[in-house]
């Protein structure tokens, strides 16, 4: 740089400085110095553009290297893996902080911004003397003008950056905004410093010079450009933002041209870039899809889908990458306007499909026109844009969409399925697809695309899960149910993250006033007839636990290789996913997270967690058997007299509520708390004087809060009496936390609950649902295996000739309920066995089916496991004359005054300190209570063994359940042998054996 100054000074001094006049020589010297500094400023201004060009070159090399490593990288050796983990650790720490504190996730973008802006500052301060404010002020202005070409280059929609750097214009727009902010700072400092200099030197009139006034105009334009581009204004008033942005950019360039002649070269370069971009765009439109007719379809939720015939010939719109978007213009409705929308179809389809949520403005007008009967509208398409991630180069892909964010995820998933079927250029082995919507009717948006993808997907390649967060979809099917927002899952830090009413596509449009649409319920009944019921097996109700979903995906991916996460939806949903990825970061392997916010958005690179066991799809009551899961606890009270609920579930020291958090009160002292909701069901009808207004069905109260911390339960229990009570406390490590998943459930006069698990449930779920009649299929509101088992029981009861909805006054009778129960067990057993065919017998996970059902008169329970060597989940009963508090402090006991039985209690574990009062229900047996008479029926099938045959409790204990016989514990404590055991004193009628093969 010193050489540059010397050369410039030498050239400039040879002119005026050679004058023989002293003054002339002095002026010549001053002019030479000014010329030297001006030349130096220009050289530094050029360095700004040189550094920008160098940055583009570096990122091009990095992009090429990354593509090469994605193609060639394999599993490193353990030794090299250890080295790589050590090297990656600092980066992991940095990325975890970045992902938790900012939405701009890609570290490379931040590095580029910091380095580039740091160089700008260096160019300003270097060789200006530091304290020479005039030189610093002038340099700030020159450097600001030098940023014009990079600023406009980064704003190009048809930038070569996508080709050379893999940087789509959405990502480039992030850099564009940061360069603009830096330029505003430089212009601000340039203006403030010159204003200070002129006023401090007593020359404020110089600020009124024409060139300076024009400079103030340019400064004002910069302010409008920057502050008018904030996210809120940009999203809310997109059209106004766009027009103001263009106008202010023109004012800024014009003012710079007139303000200082040294800016002219940068202004000309910027105008050239703008013109070049416009020419490219007009050419793309000309050979793309100009002024075509689009068919219009309306869907629930104020959705319009435009289907545009794909152009032929050399059109650029013949092919596009998954997740690409285009700018759509509606000349007849909003001439001169263009909005970006993600293309919902793939380039292999015959049309360009665009899904739009109707708002006010152009899209609202379009929606109203479609409702009025319009079949087609003229459109103009500019695109495709967006350089999407190469998801097919990752072994595991997790796609999460919220609302209309499905437009991005569905195209990526369909492309992966297509590549997998064709076996061309794909490394992906597993795809997890999650879509969060507020209503099942919204499935109709992508009905055909989703059905085709599911039909084409190979086995074990695609796992689809559709989360419905509100119950409005149930209104059309069950008018008695009120719509309500389902509670959010545990550990979701922001409930807003799943508000799927605002997504990336919607934010681009800028119109926010919702256009009223038909009720979701009526639209659901309409669209369901058209085929959305085919997706019922993939639907789960309630808000997803994003952290748990990511953890499961990471665990499954740990053995497969690289993993990519793609998310499109509300910004808060993107934040939830980023935080979940951050929570699973280690230095072992990488997770690349792609956040779709404007086309194919920013990329976040994280690390993958160490291998853990995976979970399953929608099954809330079960996960991989290798995990020790927390399971449920149940209680049944059947008595001649109505009993206060408080004496059953809140006051006793050994109640199931106290056992759920205090392990000292139960036999199995190892397990954690049962705090994932509870439910209590009871009958209020008096059989001797029935009230038709009350009906025969039970009253059920459920909540997702821990039972011991629910004041409403305590108040209710102190004022409610019933002669038949079902109570249940729930614990689960998988799935969602929602009231619809809390036991018990009811149908007519029937009530049902379950403790245990159904093995291989995701594999048999579709078959189970297919076997159901419509009324029982539609009755299911949650996503647990337990509730689907109840639906199957209702179907079996119907098959036996008894309508579950009939609710006979005297009940269905114990024999009818028992046969339906055994038929349910038999079907689940057979389907599970078929699903596990081919697995090693020792490695098959058994089902534990401790079911309980009542019709208000009789109670039928099972203690059953599909294994000959394992213990089922524990189940006990006790009977007597009264169950009362014999000592203050919640000390209850079962009292027997005679051989009669006025009270029967059934529970997962003994509810009193006198555990000898409790009888173990044998493995694989059915317990029936009718008029306080307890009957035990062995279930004779391939899993039945004599009670004397030893069984292992390992499986039950691995699921957080107690499987060992309480009698062994008591005998050991009392030092008794079998003949002396007090368990013999309870009255039990053992009836002849039942073989499930003899059932009708």
The answer to whether the CB of 556 falls within 8 A of the CB of 396 is: yes
Handedness of CA 334, 336, 339, 342 (dihedral sign): positive
825 pLDDT more than 90 = yes
Backbone angles phi, psi at 482, to 5 degrees: -85, 140
Strand partners for 567:
400, 595
937 pLDDT more than 60 = yes
| Per-residue pLDDT, 987 | 39
- Chain segment 170-195, per-residue pLDDT in tens: 677 778 888 888 888 889 989 998 99
Indicate the pLDDT class of residue 314, thresholds 50, 70 and 90: low
DSSP H or E segment with residue 421: helix 406-422
| Per-residue pLDDT, 779 | 92
Cβ-based neighbours of 503, under 8 Å, separated by 6 or more: 357, 402, 403, 404, 405, 568, 569, 570
* Secondary structure class of 273 (helix, strand, coil): helix
The answer to whether the CB of 470 falls within 8 A of the CB of 485 is: yes
- Chain segment 439-470, per-residue pLDDT in tens: 888 888 988 889 899 999 988 899 888 888 86
The answer to whether the CB of 403 falls within 8 A of the CB of 570 is: yes
| Per-residue pLDDT, 516 | 40
- Chain segment 337-384, per-residue pLDDT in tens: 777 888 888 888 888 898 998 877 788 888 888 888 888 888 888 878
CA distance 16 to 5: 18
Rg, Å, the chain Cα set: 36
765 pLDDT more than 70 = yes
CA distance 346 to 357: 20
Tokens of residue 330, six digits = 């509606």
Active site (catalytic) residues: 632
Cβ-based neighbours of 262, under 8 Å, separated by 6 or more: 38, 41, 42, 45, 142, 145
| Per-residue pLDDT, 572 | 75
Mean of the per-residue pLDDT values for the chain? 73
Q: What are the helix (H) ranges across 73-168?
A: 78-101, 107-125, 133-146, 148-154, 161-165
* Secondary structure class of 1 (helix, strand, coil): coil
Cβ-based neighbours of 510, under 8 Å, separated by 6 or more: 234, 235, 236, 237, 238, 239, 240, 241, 339, 361
Domain 633-998 in CATH 3.60.20.10:
yes
844 pLDDT more than 60 = yes
- Chain segment 499-557, per-residue pLDDT in tens: 444 433 443 333 333 334 344 444 444 444 455 677 877 887 777 778 777 877 777 76
Mean pLDDT of the region 961-982: 42
What does the domain layout of the chain look like in residue ranges? 2-73+104-283, 287-612, 633-998
CATH architecture of the domain 287-612 equals 3-Layer(aba) Sandwich (3.40)
What is the b/e burial string over 305-328, where b = at least 16 CB atoms within 10 angstroms of the residue's CB?
bbbbebbeeebbbbebbbbbbbbb
CA distance 164 to 320: 18
CA distance 618 to 555: 16
Which has the closest alpha carbon to 184: 229, 232, 144? 144
DSSP H or E segment with residue 353: strand 351-357
């Amino acid at each position: 740089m010193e050489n540059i100054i010397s050369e410039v000074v030498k050239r400039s001094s040879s002119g005026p400085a050679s004058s023989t006049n002293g003054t002339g020589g002095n002026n010549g010297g001053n002019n030479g110095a000014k010329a030297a500094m001006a030349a130096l400023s220009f050289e530094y201004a050029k360095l700004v553009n040189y550094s920008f060009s160098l940055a583009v070159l570096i990122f091009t090399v990095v992009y090429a290297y990354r593509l090469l490593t994605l193609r060639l990288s394999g599993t490193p050796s353990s030794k090299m893996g250890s080295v790589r983990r050590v090297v990656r650790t600092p980066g992991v720490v940095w990325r975890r902080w970045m992902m938790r504190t900012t939405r701009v996730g890609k570290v490379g973008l931040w590095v580029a911004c910091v380095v580039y802006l740091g160089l700008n500052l260096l160019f300003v301060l270097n060789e200006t003397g530091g304290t020479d404010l005039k030189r610093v002020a002038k340099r700030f202005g020159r450097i600001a003008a030098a940023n014009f070409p990079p600023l406009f280059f980064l704003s190009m929609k048809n930038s070569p950056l996508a080709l050379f750097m893999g940087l789509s214009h959405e990502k480039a727009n992030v850099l564009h905004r940061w360069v603009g902010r830096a330029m505003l700072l430089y212009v601000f400092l340039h203006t403030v410093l010159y204003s200070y200099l002129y006023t401090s030197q007593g020359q404020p009139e110089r600020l009124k010079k024409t060139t300076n006034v024009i400079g103030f105009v340019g400064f004002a334009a910069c302010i409008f450009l920057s502050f008018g581009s904030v996210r809120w204004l940009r999203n809310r008033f997109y059209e106004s933002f766009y027009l103001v942005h263009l106008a202010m950019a023109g004012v800024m360039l014009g003012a710079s041209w007139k303000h200082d002649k040294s800016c002219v070269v940068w202004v000309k370069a910027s105008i050239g870039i703008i013109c070049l971009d416009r020419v490219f765009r007009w050419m793309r439109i000309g050979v793309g899809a100009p002024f075509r007719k689009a068919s219009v379809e309306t869907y629930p939720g104020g959705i319009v889908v435009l289907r545009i015939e794909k152009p032929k010939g050399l059109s650029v719109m013949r092919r596009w990458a998954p997740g690409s978007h285009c700018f759509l213009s509606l000349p007849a409705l909003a001439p001169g306007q263009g909005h970006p929308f993600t293309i919902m179809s793939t380039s292999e389809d015959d049309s360009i499909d665009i899904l739009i949520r109707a708002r006010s403005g152009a899209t609202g007008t379009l929606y109203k026109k479609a409702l009025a009967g319009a079949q087609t509208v003229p459109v103009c398409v500019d695109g495709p844009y967006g350089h999407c991630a190469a998801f097919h180069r990752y072994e595991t892909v997790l796609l999460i969409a919220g609302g209309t964010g499905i437009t991005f995820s569905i195209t990526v998933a369909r492309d992966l399925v297509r590549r997998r079927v064709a076996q061309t250029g794909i490394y992906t082995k597993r795809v997890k697809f999650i879509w969060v919507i507020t209503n099942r009717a919204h499935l109709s948006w992508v009905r055909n695309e989703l059905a085709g993808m599911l039909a084409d997907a190979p086995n074990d390649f695609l796992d689809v899960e559709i989360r419905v967060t509100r119950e409005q979809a149930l209104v059309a099917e069950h008018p008695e149910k009120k719509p309500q927002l389902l509670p959010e899952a545990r550990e979701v830090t922001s409930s807003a993250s799943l508000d799927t009413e605002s997504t990336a596509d919607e934010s681009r449009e800028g119109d926010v006033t919702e256009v009223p649409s038909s009720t979701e319920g009526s639209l659901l009944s309409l669209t369901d007839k058209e085929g959305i019921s085919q997706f019922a097996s993939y639907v789960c109700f309630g808000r997803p636990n994003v952290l748990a979903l990511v953890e499961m995906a990471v665990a499954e991916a740990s053995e497969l290789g690289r993993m990519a996460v793609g998310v499109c939806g509300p910004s808060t949903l993107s934040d939830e996913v980023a935080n979940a990825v951050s929570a699973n970061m280690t230095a072992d392997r990488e997770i690349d997270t792609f956040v779709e916010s404007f086309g194919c958005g920013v990329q976040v690179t994280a690390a993958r967690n160490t291998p853990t066991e995976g979970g399953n799809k929608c099954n809330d009551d079960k996960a991989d058997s290798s995990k020790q899961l927390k399971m449920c606890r149940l209680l049944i009270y059947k008595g001649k007299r109505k009993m206060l609920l408080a004496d059953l579930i809140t006051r006793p020291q050994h109640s199931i509520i106290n056992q759920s958090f205090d392990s000292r009160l139960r036999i199995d002292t190892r397990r954690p708390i049962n705090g994932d909701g509870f439910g209590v069901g009871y009958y209020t009808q008096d059989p001797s004087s029935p009230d038709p207004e009350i009906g025969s069905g039970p009253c059920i109260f459920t909540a997702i809060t821990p039972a011991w911390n629910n004041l409403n339960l305590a108040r209710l229990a102190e004022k409610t009496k019933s002669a038949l009570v079902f109570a249940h406390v729930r614990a689960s490590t998988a799935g969602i936390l929602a009231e619809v998943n809390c036991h018990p459930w009811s149908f007519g006069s029937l009530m049902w609950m379950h403790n245990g698990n159904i093995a291989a449930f995701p594999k048999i779920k579709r078959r189970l649902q297919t076997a159901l009649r419509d009324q029982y299929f539609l009755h299911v509101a949650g996503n647990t295996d337990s509730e689907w088992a109840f639906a199957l029981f209702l179907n079996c009861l119907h098959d036996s000739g008894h309508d579950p909805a009939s609710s006979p006054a005297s009940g269905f009778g114990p024999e009818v309920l028992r046969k339906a129960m055994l038929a349910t067990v038999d079907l689940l057993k057979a389907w599970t066995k078929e699903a596990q065919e081919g697995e090693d017998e020792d490695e098959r996970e058994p089902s534990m089916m401790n079911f309980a059902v009542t019709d208000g008169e009789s109670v039928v329970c099972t203690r059953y496991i599909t294994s000959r060597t394992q213990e089922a989940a524990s189940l006990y009963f006790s009977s007597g004359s009264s169950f009362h508090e014999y000592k203050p402090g919640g000390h209850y006991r079962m009292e027997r005054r005679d051989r009669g039985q006025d009270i029967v209690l059934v529970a997962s574990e003994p509810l009193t300190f006198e555990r000898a009062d409790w009888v173990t229900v044998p493995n694989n047996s059915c317990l029936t209570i009718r008029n306080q008479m307890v009957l035990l029926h062995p279930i004779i099938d391939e899993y039945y063994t004599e009670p004397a045959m030893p069984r292992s409790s390992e499986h039950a204990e691995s699921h957080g359940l107690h499987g060992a016989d309480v009698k062994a514990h008591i005998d050991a404590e009392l030092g008794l042998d079998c003949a002396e055991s007090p368990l013999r004193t309870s009255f039990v009628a053992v009836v002849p054996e039942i073989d499930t093969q003899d059932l009708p």
